[in-house]
Every structure is written in structure tokens, then in C-alpha cells.
Structure 1
Amino acid sequence: MIFATGKHALITGGGTGIGAGAARALAAAGAKVSLLGRRREPLEAVAAETGGLAIVCDVTDPDAQARAFAEAREAFGPLDIVILNAGIGDSRPFLRTGRDSWNAIIATNLTALFDGAQLALPDLQAPGKRLIIVASVAGLKGGAMAAPYVASKHGAVGLTRSLALEFARTGLTVNAICPSFVDTPMVDDSAARIANATGKGIDEARQLLARANGNGRLITVDEVTHAILQLCHPDAGGVNGACVTIDGGTSA
């Protein structure tokens, strides 16, 4: 489906998982893609596949993120689609959660969204432009053993809804993608933490996470990517402030 020819899409966390999947899908739809992330090797691999630009950037550093956005504009021109996807997770009892862990999760999952949105919005206030924030079903309900992550994702959903309303009359749409457990490196990390805490094997830990989804399996990157493409399509101009859940029925 070619609908983004000539458009410039910038994706944070673009080297792996959902970000890499979105980059491949948008490139196939005709877009020029700028990929931001911390690790050069996976970024360059996805850039080689997509004809995109790899920019090494820690989104928790506001100056680095500003330089990355400037480099992307210099290469491919003004932004048309921005997907703020970079994120981290953790899981531990609240009373054993240190301030350092809280700060790291909020910095990556929420404050970096604030910075990224402020950097992107000067380009995006026009019909057909898209800002998509990758949040989580954890942003729509509570969750034990993951208070900082859940709080950060609630903030991501609140930011999405507020920006959608504030900029609605410009023609920009702002939407959130809210997946549950997706078969990505982040879930691999979660399974490793479960295995380490419980003595279970990695496969058994992954199965526990899969059973937490309504359909009893992990969501695929392609399923999330499909939802992102739908929101980016020109016919999706009336979808604004939505939180698209992809969870196999967990939140039904």
C-alpha cells in the first residue's frame, strides 16, 4: 500500500521491535525514514533495509534529541509523520523501587515524549500530518509490580489526548498505540527478569507473559505496525486522540 511517497517519517527507538517494524512498513509505503536510537548497529541495519537515516541519540538528553531532529530535517526535509516509540520497562515491588529506577523510566517513557513532541510540532501543524505515541495498555489501567512504568504510560496517554485536542484544528492528528505484551526485545528482558526472580526457564517466563494477553499469545510486531500504518493513512484524518489497544482482548 503506497500512500506516503515523499513523506518524511521520524521514529524514535527505530532500531528494534515496534520502531524497526514501523520503519520497514512506512518505507514500503513510500516514506523517507529517519531512525533514532541509542545503539548504532541495529539502527544502521534497519536503515540499510529501508534506505533510511540512522541517527544515534539518547532521547533522555534533550540537546542530543534536538540535534537528531535537526540532522533528520537536513537530510530529508520537514517532518510529516513522527512516531515517539522509545521506551524502557522494569518490574519490581514498589517498596523496593529506587528513585534512580523511577527517574530513568519517567525520563525515557514520558519526559522524552515531551521533548520530542515540542521538537516535532513546528512541522506537524497541517492537514495530513501525524504524531503517534507508542504507549501501552498499562497506560489505561493499574498494574502491580510496575508502578513507574504504569505511571509513565498513563502520562503518555494523557499527553496524547491533550495534544490531540490542542492541535485538532490544525489538521494534525495525535494518537496513541496501546499494545500489551509484544514479541520484542523488551518482552525478552521482562522474561529474563521473571526467570531470574522465580527460577523458571525463559520459555516458561515468556509463556506467562503470553497468557496475560487476552488471546493467550504474544502480540506480533506486524500487528502493531498494521495499526500504526492505519493511523498514518490519509483516510485516518478523523481519528484523533484515540488510544488504539492491541492486546488480544485483555481490556475488553
Structure 2
Amino acid sequence: MQRFEEKVVLVTGGGTGIGEACVAQLAAEGARVAVMGRRRELVEAVASRHGGLALAGDAADGDAMAGAVHTVLQRYGRLDVLVANAGGFGQGACADIDDDDWQRALTANLNTAFASARACLPALAAQRGAIVFVGSIAALAAGPEVCGYTTFKHALIGLSRSIARDYGPQGVRANVVCPGWVRTPMADAEMAPLMAQHGISLDQAYDLVCADVPLRRPATPQEIAEVCAFLASPAAAMVTGAVLAADGGSTIVDVPTLAFTRME
């Protein structure tokens, strides 16, 4: 399919993982892609592979985002889709997080989304475009000792719904994708404590964290990119303000009944 032929897409956090997969998916479907991230060498490599525009910068920096959008418009003349994928940080329980860590989580998970959306909205409105925010099931439920991450991923849904309400009359759609475990370099690093504690391999660690997930496996970045592409595409033309869990069924599990499953 060439759902994005002649369309221009900006992906933040595009240098690795889900962001990189989104760049690849949208470029394969005909989009002209702009790839933004803080690590210049990664961003330039991804952009080069997909014939795109590399934009090194911090998506949480309003001036950097405004400059990035200006560069995109100078190069391509339009902007149709923003995939706001930048995020991370936010470890620790509430009483254990200092002010700097809290601000770091706020910056990575919410300010990046806000600043990138704010910078892109005038151009998106001109094309009746779409925003896809990449959230997490942490936007829907709380994991252990990830207070900052959980708080600001929850807030991401509010941001998306506010944009959907205010800019819908201009034709702009805004939605959130909430992945569960995805096999990315970031998630691989999160498996390290389990691997050390149980003396298991990376694959076995993923099996362990997905033991109660109905599909019993993590997603691939490509699978999440497919969901993002759907929400950005004309096929989702009537979808806005929505939250789509792409989590293998994690968030449908009735936790109090897990003991019965373990009897089998």
C-alpha cells in the first residue's frame, strides 16, 4: 500500500526502536520522512536509509521543535503527520524520586509531546493532518516503582484528547497508541535485572514478563509501527481522541483471577 504517497511525516524519537520502525513503515508506504532525535549519528543513519531528512534536536525544546518544523516546511512545503514517539525515564516510587528525576520524566514523556504538537499544529491544520502519540500501557495502569513514567504517560492521553477537541474543527486528528512490552534496546536493558536474578537469557526474560499476557509474547517495533501507520492513515479518518492498546491483551486481564490460571 502507498497510503502516504506525497505525504510528509515527522517522527520524533526516530533514531531507534519504535520510532525507527515508524520511519521505515511510513517511508515504505510512500511518505517523505523527517527524523528527529537527540543523538545525531542515529538520526542521520535512519534518515539516510529511508531517503529522509535528519533533524538532530530535543523534541522538548520549543525553539528546537519550531526550527525543525521550519526546516521540514522549507524542504517539503507541507507537513501531514506527526508521530510523537520521544520518551523514557521516570523510574522510582513517589517518595524516592528527587526533583531532578521528576523533571527529567516530565521532560521526556510529556514536554516532548506537547512541544512537538504545538510546533506542528499550524502546518497539520493546513493539511487536515494527524498526530499519533506513542504512549504505553503505563498510561492505563501502574507498574511498580515507575511513578514519573506512569504519571506523565497518563497525562499524554489528556493532551491528545485536548488537541482532538480543540483542533478537530480544523480537521486535525490526535490519537494515542499504548504498547505493552516491545523488543527494543530500551526494553532489552530493562530485562537485565530479571536475567541476573534468575540466571536466564534475554528470550527467557521476555517469556517471564509476558507469562500473563494473553498473546504470551512482546510486540516487535514493526507491529507497533503498523498500528501508528493505521491511525495516521485515511483508513482511520473518523478516529480521533482514541486510545488504542497494542499490548497483546495485557490490559484486559482480570488480575484477581490470575491465581486460577496458575492452577492449570
User: For the superposition of Structure 1 and Structure 2, which TM-score range results when normalised by the shorter chain?
Assistant: over 0.9
Structure 1 residue 209, shift from structure 2 partner = 3.0
**Structure 2 letter corresponding to 1:181:** W
- Per the alignment, residue 114 of structure 2 pairs with 114
Deviation string 1:154-186 (CA, Å, 9 cap, x unpaired) is 011111111111111211111111111111122
In structure 2, the CA distance between the partners of 1:201 and 1:105, relative to structure 1 (3 Å rule), is farther
- Per the alignment, residue 7 of structure 1 pairs with 7
- Per the alignment, residue 147 of structure 2 pairs with 147
CA contact (8 A) 2:61 2:115 kept: no
Question: What is the alpha-carbon distance in structure 2 between the residues aligned to residue 237 and residue 171 of structure 1?
Answer: 9
**Structure 1 letter corresponding to 2:119:** L
Structure with the greater alpha carbon radius of gyration: 2
Question: What is the alpha-carbon distance in structure 2 between the residues aligned to residue 136 and residue 47 of structure 1?
Answer: 25
Question: What is the alpha-carbon distance in structure 2 between the residues aligned to residue 220 and residue 158 of structure 1?
Answer: 27
After superposition, the CA RMSD in angstroms is 1.9
Q: How do 1:94-243 residues align onto structure 2 when only pairs under 5 Å count?
A: 94-126=94-126, 128-192=128-192, 194-195=194-195, 198=197, 200-201=199-200, 203=202, 204-211=204-211, 213-243=213-243
Structure 1 residue 126, shift from structure 2 partner = 4.9
Structure 1, unaligned runs of 5 or more: none
Partner SS for 2:33:
strand
**Structure 2 letter corresponding to 1:18:** I
**Structure 2 letter corresponding to 1:24:** A
Structure 1 residue 75, shift from structure 2 partner = 1.6
Using structure 1 for the length normalisation, give the TM-score.
Answer: 0.92
Partner SS for 1:167:
helix
CA contact (8 A) 1:127 1:170 kept: no
**Structure 1 letter corresponding to 2:111:** T
- Per the alignment, residue 21 of structure 1 pairs with 21
In structure 2, the CA distance between the partners of 1:73 and 1:127, relative to structure 1 (3 Å rule), is closer
Structure 1 residue 137, shift from structure 2 partner = 1.2
Deviation string 1:89-128 (CA, Å, 9 cap, x unpaired) is 3433333222211110111110121111110100112564
Question: What is the alpha-carbon distance in structure 2 between the residues aligned to residue 104 and residue 212 of structure 1?
Answer: 31
Question: What is the alpha-carbon distance in structure 1 between the residues aligned to residue 98 and residue 201 of structure 2?
Answer: 26
Structure 2, unaligned runs of 5 or more: 253-264
CA contact (8 A) 1:110 1:156 kept: yes
In structure 2, the CA distance between the partners of 1:160 and 1:81, relative to structure 1 (3 Å rule), is same
- Per the alignment, residue 38 of structure 1 pairs with 38
> How many equivalent pairs are there?
251
Question: What is the alpha-carbon distance in structure 2 between the residues aligned to residue 213 and residue 103 of structure 1?
Answer: 32
Partner SS for 1:125:
helix
**Structure 2 letter corresponding to 1:182:** V
CA contact (8 A) 2:128 2:170 kept: no
**Structure 1 letter corresponding to 2:54:** A
- Per the alignment, residue 61 of structure 1 pairs with 61
In structure 2, the CA distance between the partners of 1:116 and 1:193, relative to structure 1 (3 Å rule), is farther
**Structure 1 letter corresponding to 2:46:** V
**Structure 1 letter corresponding to 2:85:** N
Give aligned-pair identity as a percent. 35
Using structure 2 for the length normalisation, give the TM-score.
Answer: 0.88
CA contact (8 A) 2:38 2:58 kept: yes
Partner SS for 1:33:
strand
**Structure 2 letter corresponding to 1:139:** A
CA contact (8 A) 2:79 2:127 kept: no
Deviates more, 1:53-62 or 1:173-182: 53-62
Structure 1 residue 201, shift from structure 2 partner = 4.8
Deviates more, 1:85-94 or 1:159-168: 85-94
Partner SS for 2:215:
coil
- Per the alignment, residue 85 of structure 1 pairs with 85
Partner SS for 2:175:
strand
